[in-house]
Homo-oligomer: A and B are copies of this chain.
């Protein structure tokens, strides 16, 4: 694993022929009946049954999507909800994904100061040094929250450099309420997110972080839904991969991701529920009663949809 994360990501995208990422947001209530039993009979208070179902569901999803996508993104919150046993499942499933040659993004959105940020980097990005856990595989990249200041990214950056890992820094999120804090205009005319993007570029363009592909291992999270500012942020962060959540269930379309790409490169479009729970969408359930076939078809459709934008 000597290649920089950015180069590994570019290569994985080329190999699978598509810049898409499946978000692993396992929600017990939404799992297919074939995995978790009839919804009316599920006991949400049985954490062991919930974790078992989530584990079975996720391993199946990983196998279905692995031939089509370069990358998966695990949402930590849905594992933390099941306390330490959920966290153990998270790390096991990261390993399952890695075994399928999928790149893994840990969507943990951590951020804190100084040595506390260092502890988070150790917990979620560095390969663990522990003798008892030398089989644990960490994500290839994580999402981080920069609100506390760009100095607080330093421990994450050091870890990314030391272990050839990547970061996706929240710059402009996909939710409706993000505008009131991220789009506020500063006295110099930039929005807060534009200012953040300018500062982040100074970090992302450090030679130690830029791969032979020209892309940096320090990327940005920019909601696919934020078309009004996509071009501006792209110009300010010319070397950063954009992780674009919000496609599908949140209303983002392929066309809305267009400005994130530079000559067909540099962005990763992420969809979670529209893929995982495709069997709940009549468009897919009409085709097949098998939830796995619905997931597969939804990934293939997303791939074709994004390809239309790339002209590939």
- A residues with a Cβ closer than 8 A to B are 25, 27, 44-48, 75, 77-78, 80-88, 91, 109-117, 119-120, 122-124, 128-133, 136, 145-152, 170, 173-182, 184-187, 189, 192, 195-196, 199
CB contacts (< 8 Å) of A152 on chain B: these are 175, 177
The answer to whether residues A148 and B170 also contact, given A45-B130, A186-B186 and a CB cut-off of 8 A, is: yes
* A75–B120 alpha-carbon span in the complex (Å): 10
Q: Which residue of B lies closest to A122 (CB)?
A: B81
CB contacts (< 8 Å) of A47 on chain B: these are 128, 130-133
Most buried by B among A146, A175, A189: A175
CB contacts (< 8 Å) of A86 on chain B: these are 123
CB contacts (< 8 Å) of A83 on chain B: these are 87-88, 91, 123, 128, 130, 133, 136
A177–B192 touching, CB < 8 Å: no
Q: Chain B nearest CB: distance from A50 CB in Å?
A: 8
* A88–B86 alpha-carbon span in the complex (Å): 11
Contact of A129 among B45, B148, B176, B184 (CB under 8 A): B45
28 A-B pairs within 8 Å (CB atoms) are namely A27-B115, A44-B129, A45-B130, A48-B132, A77-B119, A77-B123, A78-B119, A80-B119, A83-B128, A83-B133, A84-B87, A109-B110, A111-B145, A113-B173, A113-B174, A113-B175, A147-B147, A148-B178, A149-B177, A149-B179, A149-B180, A149-B181, A150-B181, A152-B175, A152-B177, A184-B186, A184-B195, A186-B186
CB contacts (< 8 Å) of A123 on chain B: these are 77, 80-83, 86
A175–B199 touching, CB < 8 Å: no
Q: Chain B nearest CB: distance from A107 CB in Å?
A: 8
* A46–B132 alpha-carbon span in the complex (Å): 7
The answer to whether residues A184 and B178 also contact, given A80-B120, A83-B123, A119-B81 and a CB cut-off of 8 A, is: no
CB contacts (< 8 Å) of A180 on chain B: these are 149-150, 199
